[in-house]
Structure 1
Amino acid sequence: MMDTLYRIYFMTILSRLGLQLGMIMITIVAFLTMVGVNELLFKAGEFVPGINWIYLPAGVRLLATLLFGLSGAVGLLLSAWCVNFWLFFPDDFSRSFLGGIIAAVAPYSVYIMARRFYGLQGSLVNLTAGKLLICIVVYSLASPLMHHVWFHLRDPVVHDWSGFWVMAVGDFLGSVVVFYTLKLALHLWMPPQAARTLPHQ
């Protein structure tokens, strides 16, 4: 009897671990893909390396954490380190390392907020359009604020706060594009009966 219980317990742990690893991998693939798309479409409008007027990966960051919670944040941390160390700031260890941490902490903080104040569920079924917009706005301010506070602490003489607003606009527009493109795709692919059951408020 005990052997059976231990076996069930062990299989449950493995199943949960596999699910967590799957969410981490989905986040990494989605984020890196969106970085590539953003570089292809909006590289010419880049303000400075790592700061764009439209930053699509920001939408993936928020979506991954709202859907996957801590697993999404871990995936974002790993993928941000990949991008920072090999693409954006290969010669700046502290910018790459700490920037990756901030890139994961900012959306995860919004996820914690949504869980606390909105009772956010894993399926996002109770995340209305208005609540989602609030999450996007809060994230679009939190992420650049965390980054620029660190930039200022790191080098207060050289740091330019003008990049804060560019990053905020880029994160907001990128998040809106990602979420509403996803919404449109789901609307087009979802069976009509299921679409009618979706919340509209």
Structure 2
Amino acid sequence: MASLPQCRSLEYVKHLTMSVTDLAVAATTFLVFVGSFHLNQRLDSYMLYTPGVSLIFIPAGVKLLSILIGRLPAIVGLYIASVYVSTEIWRDLQAASLYLFAAASVFSYAIAAYVVMTLAGIFRDLHNLRYHHIVVLSLSASVFNSVAHNAAYLMVGVTATDAQWVTSAAMALGDFLGCLAVVSFFHAVTLMLKKV
């Protein structure tokens, strides 16, 4: 049986390992989100509806998938990544506005995912995730994000009230299609790997 000092040192090592793992998840999430954002920008000539609104927004799918898999560490990585990419889009806005946009973007997805997973009985390890769950997750996250994001835009004054509903609908559609594509692809790959 391990002595008390040995038990404490094992707990410390376990805590330290979890912290390193969490940091790795946050860093990986940051890099993947920023990479997907830049990939989406390259495709803007085909998919851009209006500045900041793409009709298929791949980073939305990366965001939802990251939250589903990586939980809180992924949310931290996504928040930092969202602030980072916001500096590329909104160069003339104050930092507080960028933090607000990032919070609306990331936390709307996290809240929607948590609510849908709880109501639908989706397990944390996602082993009972089905295609209809992906559709509901994608729809809920994209609509909630669109409303939250555009409310933040109105608060800061970067969008006109008369264009609000059209912009919200376009953003929701782009996010929905991005979520559906990325999470469905992940789901299909995991199902194939289970059969191998």
TM-score (norm 1): 0.86
CA distance in 1, matches of 2:125, 2:44: 31
Percent pairwise identity = 19
Shift of 1:156: 9.5
**1:199 matched residue in structure 2:** none
Determine if the alignment matches structure 1 residue 179 to structure 2 residue 180: no
The answer on whether the counterparts of 2:134 and 2:183 sit within 8 Å (CA) in structure 1 is no
Alignment of 1:1-201 (within 5 A): 1-85=3-87, 87-93=88-94, 94-155=96-157, 158-159=160-161, 160-161=163-164, 162-186=166-190, 190=193, 194-195=194-195
TM-score (norm 2): 0.88
CA distance in 1, matches of 2:63, 2:105: 8
| Structure 2 gap segments, 5+ residues each | none
| Letter aligned with residue 8 of structure 1 | L
Pair 1:5–1:157, CA change in 2 (3 A)? closer
CA RMSD of aligned residues (A): 2.1
SS at match of 1:173: helix
CA distance in 2, matches of 1:119, 1:23: 25
Shift of 1:29: 1.4
SS at match of 2:134: helix
Pair 1:6–1:16, CA change in 2 (3 A)? same
Deviation >6 Å, runs of 4+:
none
CA distance in 1, matches of 2:10, 2:125: 26
Shift of 1:44: 4.7
| Structure 1 gap segments, 5+ residues each | 197-201
